[in-house]
Structure 1
Amino acid sequence: MALVCLSDFEAYAKVHLPKASWDFFAAGADECCTRDDNLMAYKRIRFRPRMLRDMSAMDTKTTILGTKISFPVGIAPTGFHKLAWPDGELSTARASEAMNTCYIASTYSSCSVEEIAAAAPAGFRWFQLYILQKRNLTERLVQRVEALGFQALVLTVDLPYPGKRRDDIRNNFSSSASLPVKNFEGAFEEATGEENSEYGLPPGAIDCSLKWNDIYWLQNLTRLPIIIKGILTKEDAELAVKHGVQGIIVSNHGGRQLDGAPATIDALPEIVTAVQGKVEVYLDGGIRTGGDVLKALALGAKCVFIGRPALWGLAYKGEEGLKEVLKILRDEFRLSMALAGCRNVSEIGPHLLQYSRL
């Protein structure tokens, strides 16, 4: 049976992945209200399509931080891709390179940054960063990714502590039972497996004392642009601009952190307004169709990133499965543009929506 939409890939992955792996990828925090609202929020938005606009020539390309990509959908950072496919992040990197889009590799990849870079040497890659209590480990990791040609750092700021994900607790899930954290292999040898958190590192490894001025510390370590991931309010968006970042990803961690936080598409408009065009704004969370991509761009996102759907694609056929997921989103986005009356991404704006929350 052909898989024709992202929901088909989700259904396939749920049947074919081991239960603990599926639950880990699918998990939201607490009652999963935010995880589920990430999807439902898109259904509350309607289009105002324009007609007779000459759709004979169309272009889905855009740029993010000055680099051209084939369409405004990238791959969000998620951990432990080998739970979905044996080659893990190597397949993810190759699929992203083949589709000419951006892949944000996770600190908690099941392949090292060196392996990811070697798998797709011409790929467009950013690196998602957690700052650890052991700052020297963070410093070395930043140096490694910069030397390997990663083009930006994506600092995740919404995880001073992991959210409570009930199914992982019920399953007694620990990635360390089957996969090492390759980017820190050997760095925490004093900790036993029983002490490890879900990320395969000792509890408290992430620096929960992180504050805004630490961005200056990070800027002093690297020449790479810094993007802040996890912003949901205009106040924090204004602080991000004040502290000199180059981009913001509107994100609630896929609903895996604070349950009851807003859906990202609902948080997007006030953040776009707050930054006043001074930095690029991106979004993750809840993207399931090309129409969702169009809605996010109409509300001011420069690009969106998919997390769980990328894992579903890997679970289906590895690199080829993820390419299929990206092709479906690209084709649905192009069709949605055409039916809404937009020939290129520059013609997308809030005028396309019945209500824009601006």
Structure 2
Amino acid sequence: MSVPPDTVSLFDYERHFNDRVDPATRAYIGGAGADGITQRANREAFDRLRLMPRVLRDLSNATARSTLFGETLDYPIILAPMAYHKLVHPDGELATVEAAGLTRSWMTVSTQASVRIDEIARRATAPLWFQLYTQPRREDTLTLMRRAEDAGCRALVLTVDAPVNGMRNMEQRAGFRLPPTIAPVNLAGLAPDGFRPARPGSPVFQGMLHAAPTWDTVAWLCGETALPVLLKGILNPADVDPAIAAGAGGLIVSNHGGRTLDTLPTSIDALPAVAAKAARRLPVLMDGGIRRGTDILKALALGADAVLIGQPVLHALAVGGLAGVAHMLTLLQTELEVAMALTGRATLAEIDRSVIHPSA
């Protein structure tokens, strides 16, 4: 499997992905919530923002390196948790983690990965994080967390914006079903969520939300691990102080890629208020719609310490396997460096709101 020679951007990877992957899988990976308004807006919001350059700056010691949770992050680009990499490549997460290592990128492993966390960790040469969905029984949530700790993961990412799945109509129309050879192997041995009948006339309340996490769950989880716990799915600045009070180590501004509740604000639009409320008390990251190095620059300018990349990882994996993911990440790293150079910012610390044109 080789990368097509005309693949020079993340949009090219998406185009080739759409040509190569069967419609049902394409609908599952790319499927938005409901009418896809938020998913489209995630991308459009970046396009609205204009950059304001500075010229003739000293760039002789330029670097995109920073520090996060006491570790050196060579580029402020982290692989977001994405389920079932084997849907698009037989090596699945093993190819992804090797590509991450080759590009010195950190990777977040999904609870619903199609390869066990310990196997992924054995291939890793850069830090790993583990994304956690709480389980109906606390002892099972602890089991998942201990597996991540034993594998050497450096942080936990608790997804807090999806107590139920969104209305993914694209996926429903396509009739997606997980192939029998692919499973969420990290959940092996854990109790399935027991069915509880909903109240009459209520398909969601009571029947599906009995085990949904709360702020008490966050506080309990933070008290059970020495790892930093990042909360993924924060959009409202009103949730910042409760997160800090519960012991969260970081926040990820995210609307789940537009895959849960439709018509949410875009991540980049929500970012400034969340970052202002956090006021540097803990790291703030963001995901949603990033496809260019200029997008990363804009996110950093509006308050993010780093960004997470989701769907493009699976696009590149489907098109080029390990080499595709490594090439895709290298493209983003290069584009970020170009954007920094052409706006006159030699370090990430120099990227602030003045990078964004006042018309934004």
Q: Do both share a fold (TM > 0.5)?
A: yes
Alignment partner of 2:227 out of 213, 224, 232: 224
CA contact (8 A) 2:222 2:246 kept: no
- Structure 1: distance between partners of 2:141 and 2:212: 15
Task: Map 1:96-115; keep pairs closer than 5 Å.
Answer: 96-115=100-119
The yes-or-no answer on 1:302 pairing with 2:305 is yes
CA shift for structure 1 position 57: 3.3
1:172 aligns with 2:175: yes
Residue 13 of structure 2 aligns with an amino acid whose one-letter code is F
* Gap change, CA 1:266 and 1:190, over 3 Å in 2: closer
1:233 offset after TM fit, Å? 0.7
Which stretch of structure 1 is more off in the superposition, 135-144 or 303-312? Answer: 135-144
The CA distance in 2 between the partners of 1:187 and 1:63, in whole Å, is 36
Whether contact under 8 Å (2:136, 2:193) holds in the other structure is no
Q: Residue 95 of structure 2 aligns with which residue?
A: 91
User: What's the CA shift for 1:134?
Assistant: 2.3
TM-aligned CA deviation for residue 63 of structure 1: 1.7
Q: CA deviation at 1:354?
A: 1.3
Q: Which 10-residue stretch deviates more, 313-322 or 286-295?
A: 313-322
Query: CA separation in 1, counterparts of 2:59 and 2:254?
Result: 33
The alpha-carbon deviation at position 176 of structure 1 amounts to 5.4
Offset of 1:46 from its aligned partner?
0.8
Greater mean deviation of Cα atoms: 59-68 or 260-269: 59-68
Cα distance in 2 for partners of 1:42, 1:282 equals: 16
* Deviation digits for residues 184-235 of structure 1 (CA, Å, limit 9, x no counterpart): 12435899xxxxxxxxxxxx78864311111121123211111000000100
TM-fit CA distance, 1:177: 3.7
Instruction: Show the counterpart of 2:75.
Output: 71
Contact 1:228 1:248 (C-alpha < 8 Å) held by counterparts:
yes
**Pairwise CA distance, 1:123:** 2.2
Query: Could you tell me which of 272, 276, 281 is aligned with 1:278?
Result: 281
Q: CA RMSD in A?
A: 2.0
2:236 paired residue number: 233
> Counterparts of 1:311-330 in structure 2 under 5 Å?
311-330=314-333
**Alpha-carbon separation, structure 2, partners of 1:19 and 1:92:** 22
Deviation at 1:148, TM superposition (A): 1.2
2:336 aligned partner:
333
- Deviation larger for 15-24 or 298-307: 15-24
SS at match of 2:308: strand
Aligned to 2:198: none
Q: For the Cα contact (< 8 Å) 1:142–1:221, is it kept in 2?
A: no
1:30 maps to which residue? 34
Query: Structure 2: which amino acid aligns with 1:305?
Result: L
- Distance in 2, matches of 1:141 and 1:190, equals 15
> Which moves more between the two structures, 311-320 or 291-300?
311-320
Assess if the C-alpha contact under 8 Å between 1:269 and 1:299 holds in 2: yes
Among 245, 250, 255, the residue aligned to 1:247 = 250
* Contact 1:299/1:356 (8 A) holds in 2: no
1:115-136 Cα distance to aligned partner (Å, 9 max, x none): 111122x320110000011222
CA–CA distance in structure 2, aligned partners of residues 33 and 236 of structure 1: 24
Is 1:55 the counterpart of 2:53? The answer is no
1:213 is paired with a residue whose SS is helix
Q: Distance in 2 between matches of 1:142 and 1:206?
A: 22
Distance 2:142 2:168 in 1: 30
SS of structure 2 residue aligned to 1:175: coil
SS at match of 1:46: coil
Corresponding residue number in structure 1 for 2:271 = 268
What are the ranges of 5 or more consecutive residues in structure 1 without an aligned counterpart? Answer: 192-203
Q: Is the 8 A contact 2:114 2:185 kept in 1?
A: yes
Separation in 2, partners of 1:150, 1:186: 21
Alpha-carbon distance in structure 2 between the residues aligned to 1:26 and 1:232: 21
Amino acid at match of 1:248: L
Tell me which residue corresponds to 2:129: 126
Distance 1:186 1:117 in 2: 20
Structure 1 residues 215 and 356: alpha-carbon distance in aligned structure 2, compared to 1, 3 A threshold:
farther
8 Å CA contact 2:81, 2:310 repeated in 1: yes
Choose which of 15, 28, 41 in structure 1 pairs with 2:19. Answer: 15
Alpha-carbon deviations, 1:77-103, whole Å to 9, x = none?
010000111111111111111111211
| 1:82 equivalent in structure 2 | 86
1:283-338: per-residue Cα shift (whole Å, max 9, x none)? 00000000000000001100001000011110111111000000000000000000
Q: Distance in 2 between matches of 1:207 and 1:283?
A: 29
Is residue 27–residue 176 contact of structure 2 (8 Å, CA) maintained in 1?
Answer: no
Match of 1:293 in 2: 296
Aligned to 1:286, what secondary structure does the other structure show? coil
* Residue 192 (structure 2) pairs with residue 163 (structure 1): no
Contact 1:132 1:207 in 2 (8 A): no
Secondary structure of residue in 1 paired with 2:128 = strand
